[in-house]
């Protein structure tokens, strides 16, 4: 039986895999198992997806049905839930979102009272409790549900910390019709930036569709248009659906990935004596060009498995302050306990402004080695263990030799096998990835045959 909670909570097609009935059960089980402590409430936030209100209603019903109180934060970024939970001393925070996934999907994940995602063993206990008999109080023992009153100020306090001055910067902000639609433009303006908004409406019918951090082409065009109109020092910022990720477009329309962001922040933190452990935690997906740039600055790279929870584990275990993923999920313990797209944008732009540099120059030392990622749809995660696939992987690794790197892994959030290779020879990288992806497709088809 597969685990209910994946690498980033429970996800599935809303009203298909993730039904209101299941959300009700999750709410009941979680509220029964999450620490209470003086009857502290559970906070609930969501992104803009159409299915969000439906699933939120079911979750809140489940929470209150076992006698716990729930406070709805409304549409807020995932990191805002972590921040507000920690600041208010709430029992826990729940986020209803599927992050960067398609419109039809939704999900749920929980933060503990400390603002960190709850542990795997607690997730497993919640999953096991779905089929058990749980309390059903009556009368005044039933939990209460209410809407938050000005709790968002705690997140704004985090965003404004450090006296960042963005005066003189022009920023094009693409919120991908997601959870940062109001907060990100407002905060950037408050800190002095001139802001041009695109896709900054709470339209869950368009979340992540050819916009935001999942598709930067529109942002690149908007930055280019501003530059051609004579605007100087213009950069672009893009968030995914729940704003725990951020990517940038620099002054030349080039994409600034999570690797570039981590490099710039690490260098800044190193110069200020704030880079705990003298290293950055990233994943096996981070490009070797990023690793080389860090090494040239005397900064170490600790690689973790793909998934922000694994980055977080390595950071906490090793006492590191900065970590993240190539996708733009950046964790900076100076400010929050989880990936925080809006705060990362403010911090990086603050470095640009303080150094009187350009974003392009700030990350120029990260020269990517050719890298190719191909996704193969596969319902079975263990398809990569089949003999033909293992043999193909061995041949691919041999072909790359010491000049390249291969990674084959199942996605933690979607029914995909991800095939990634990188090396100094782009033709070889493409050949290796295409051939291996084809072999996996053949095995998927063979497995599906009657």
Backbone φ, ψ for residue 323 (5° rounding): -165, 170
The tokens describing 268, both together, are: 């800044």
94 forms bridges with which residues in the sheet? Answer: 44, 110
Contacts of 239 (CB under 8 A, 6+ apart): 77, 174, 175, 176, 178, 179, 180, 184, 212, 213, 245, 246, 341, 342, 345
Distance CA(11)–CA(100), nearest Å, equals 11
Distance CA(53)–CA(387), nearest Å, equals 46
Distance CA(413)–CA(4), nearest Å, equals 11
DSSP 222-251: HHHHHHHTT--SEEEEEE-TTSS-EEEE-T
Q: What 3-state class would DSSP assign to 95?
A: strand
The tokens describing 64, both together, are: 């209150």
- Burial grade of 50 (CB within 10 A; 0-12, 13-18, 19 or more): middle
373 forms bridges with which residues in the sheet? Answer: 420
Distance CA(257)–CA(270), nearest Å, equals 20
* Whether 72 is catalytic: no
Backbone φ, ψ for residue 404 (5° rounding): -150, 180
Token pair 């596969």 is found at: 378
DSSP 313-334: HHHHHHT-SEEE-TTS-EEETT
Token pair 């981590």 is found at: 262
Give, in degrees to the nearest 5, the angle at Cα 175 between 169 and 179. 125
The tokens describing 291, both together, are: 């690793």
Which of the following is catalytic: 83, 99, 113, 327?
Answer: 99
Distance CA(304)–CA(324), nearest Å, equals 10
Strands 416-423 vs 371-377: parallel, antiparallel or unpaired: antiparallel
Element housing 417 (H / E): strand 416-423
Distance CA(254)–CA(193), nearest Å, equals 21
Distance CA(417)–CA(429), nearest Å, equals 17
| Catalytically annotated residues | 99
């Amino acid at each position: 039986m597969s685990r209910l909670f994946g690498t980033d909570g429970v996800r599935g097609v809303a009203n298909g895999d993730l039904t209101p009935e299941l959300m009700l059960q999750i709410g009941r089980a979680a509220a029964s198992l999450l620490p209470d402590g003086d009857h502290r409430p559970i906070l609930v936030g969501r992104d803009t997806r159409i299915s969000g209100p439906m699933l939120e209603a079911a979750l809140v019903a489940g929470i209150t049905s076992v006698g716990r109180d729930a406070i709805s934060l409304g549409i807020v970024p995932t990191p805002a839930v972590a921040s507000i939970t920690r600041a208010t001393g709430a029992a826990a925070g729940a986020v209803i979102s599927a992050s960067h996934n398609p419109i039809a999907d939704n999900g749920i994940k929980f933060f503990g009272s400390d603002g960190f995602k709850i542990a795997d063993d607690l997730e497993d206990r919640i999953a096991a409790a779905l089929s058990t008999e749980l309390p059903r109080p009556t009368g005044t023992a039933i939990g209460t549900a209410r809407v938050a009153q000005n709790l968002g100020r705690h997140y704004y306090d985090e965003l404004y910390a450090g006296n960042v001055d963005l005066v003189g910067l022009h920023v094009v902000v693409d919120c991908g019709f997601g959870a940062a639609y109001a907060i990100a433009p407002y905060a950037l303006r408050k800190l002095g930036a001139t802001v041009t908004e695109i896709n900054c409406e709470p339209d869950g019918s368009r979340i992540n569709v050819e916009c935001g951090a999942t598709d930067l082409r529109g942002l690149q065009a908007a930055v280019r248009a501003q530059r051609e109109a004579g605007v100087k020092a213009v950069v672009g910022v893009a968030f995914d659906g729940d704003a725990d990720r951020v990517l940038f477009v620099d002054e030349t329309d080039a994409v600034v990935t999570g690797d570039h962001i981590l490099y710039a922040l690490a260098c800044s933190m190193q110069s200020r004596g704030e880079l705990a452990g003298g290293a950055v935690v990233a994943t096996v997906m981070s490009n070797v060009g990023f690793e080389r740039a860090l090494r040239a600055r005397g900064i170490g790279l600790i690689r973790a498995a793909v998934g922000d929870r694994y980055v977080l584990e390595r950071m906490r275990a090793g006492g590191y302050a900065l970590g993240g993923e190539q996708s733009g999920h950046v964790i900076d313990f100076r400010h929050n306990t989880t990936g925080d797209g809006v705060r990362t944008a403010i911090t990086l732009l603050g470095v640009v402004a303080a150094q009187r540099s350009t974003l392009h120059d700030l990350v120029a030392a990260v020269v990517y080695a050719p890298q190719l990622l191909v996704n193969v749809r596969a319902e079975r995660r263990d398809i990569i263990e089949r003999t033909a696939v293992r043999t193909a992987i061995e041949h691919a690794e041999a072909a790359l030799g010491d000049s390249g790197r291969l990674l084959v892994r199942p996605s933690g959030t979607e029914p995909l096998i991800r095939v990634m290779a990188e090396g100094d020879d782009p033709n070889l990288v493409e050949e290796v990835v295409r051939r291996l992806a084809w072999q996996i497709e053949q095995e998927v088809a063979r497995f599906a045959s009657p």
